[in-house]
Structure 1
Amino acid sequence: MEIFVVPTASATGSVAAGILAAVIRSKPDAVLGLATGGSPLPIYKALAGHSVDMSSVSGLALDEYVGLPAGHSQSYAEVVRREVTERLQLDPAKVAVPDGSAADPERAAAEYDSAIAAAGGIDVQILGIGHNGHLAFNEPGSALDSRTRVEVLTERTREANARYFSTPEEVPLRCITQGLGTIMEAGHLLLVVNGADKAGILAAALNGPVTAACPASILQRHPHVTVVADEAAASLLASGSGQVAVRVEGAAAGV
């Protein structure tokens, strides 16, 4: 595991984008696992500033709310369209999001899991981490070998996401999420974390026991993980076996 510590939250997006740009230059038809949320979204803005041809890149989103109508501004399909597909000028036909408006969401989840395999798997999966340690929408208690499925959102997660909706009651109760087992099949996991409020859970995930109580702790079992964290988020990290910490400053961090 390699850990890049950068001065500011904005710098995490710059460093992560540089990593992705290098991957795309070496593999123009790379398959990216797309995450949304406060930490991952700045990556795409920074990546758009790189002179790299992304016309052959494919994207597969981590998750989607269940029950929002097609075209809802806060559905992840719309967020991915606005923030990723259009910003990076990707081919819309090569970008997929779980079908949260499907009549049978359980079937849609299983089909999405199969679609990831049919795409040849994900080369780089972008990730954020929730305050309770969730990865994608794998809430505490999720099986470490879980597959893409329908999940019930915890109140803590719904409260965190309420800022994107007009009222807290509008936040959906369920979602379709890639499972932890599905995520672990990606070739490279790229975790981006910002803020002092994430310091405790990041330390638990990277330095604590691997347990379903902290889903993100499964990262410790993956052979290729890169963590990009600002100084506030990384403040409680301790050196661990197999971890390489690199402090990135100034121009190298894009600041």
Structure 2
Amino acid sequence: MSTQPDQRRQLSEFLRSRRERLTPDEVGLPRTGRRRTPGLRREELALLAGISATWYTYLEQGREIRVSDQVLNALAVALRLDRHERAHLLQLAGHAPAPEAEEREPLPAAVGAVPLLLQPTPAYIIGGTYDVLSHNQAADDLFPGLITDAGRPANFVRWVFLEPVAREIVVDWEPEARGLLGRLRTLAARHPGDPRYTRLIEELNENSPEARDWWPRYDVQARHSGRKRLRHPRRGTTDYTYTAFHLAEQPEQTLVVYVESGEPSDESAVVPGG
């Protein structure tokens, strides 16, 4: 499958970022000569993957060459990619179908009413770009400033990175924000050239120093359920378990439901981000 220039550029940057995070010691190679850049050399990675160094160089340079699943999987093993990173690599190399871009995400009225039925439990439905398509009052209370009348859909990623109050509400803001950005990158790779993702990513890079610093690191992550510590406006710092339900008709649209997992949290507790 052929790839577009932007995809090849992203593939190049992704491969380089993953190559540079490995050291010869980690993969059992001897250190030879002075190293001008961090991580493995291209020749060393090609040796580990059992492919031609010249051919790998062409791939990392973003040249339009055909690559097999076997070679990509060999690279994934050599680079020690996890399953989400491996899927991202295959996506960028054009080995997974990319859905056609849609300017607006349809949401059936019956589905949109689900968060209202779950009141007083905080619940909302987000689309592929994290636009908030439906929500209830409990979610509005838990995430102040998320729902606005600014003439465009509320967006959870935009809220986390660009709304100052988010850093007060989300107790473990940095790991949560990093994970969210990784999930956005994973989704964006499925929609190369989709202006919805392009606009959102450009806005984050322009207005958030953290997003601008973290985006080139090429972290990827899949959407999942988990736990968060949030400062509720009335109950203070509280542990929440959140569950993500993907809609059958629109698998990138997700119903997210938050349930308190216990008593108000101690500020020193450590809860993994999700």
What TM-score do the two structures reach when normalised by structure 1? 0.24
Q: Normalized per residue, which structure has more helix?
A: 2
TM-score (ref. length: structure 2): 0.22
Q: Rg: which structure is higher?
A: 2
> Which one has more relative contact order, counting CA pairs under 8 Å at least 6 apart?
1
Whose strand fraction is larger, Structure 1's or Structure 2's? 1
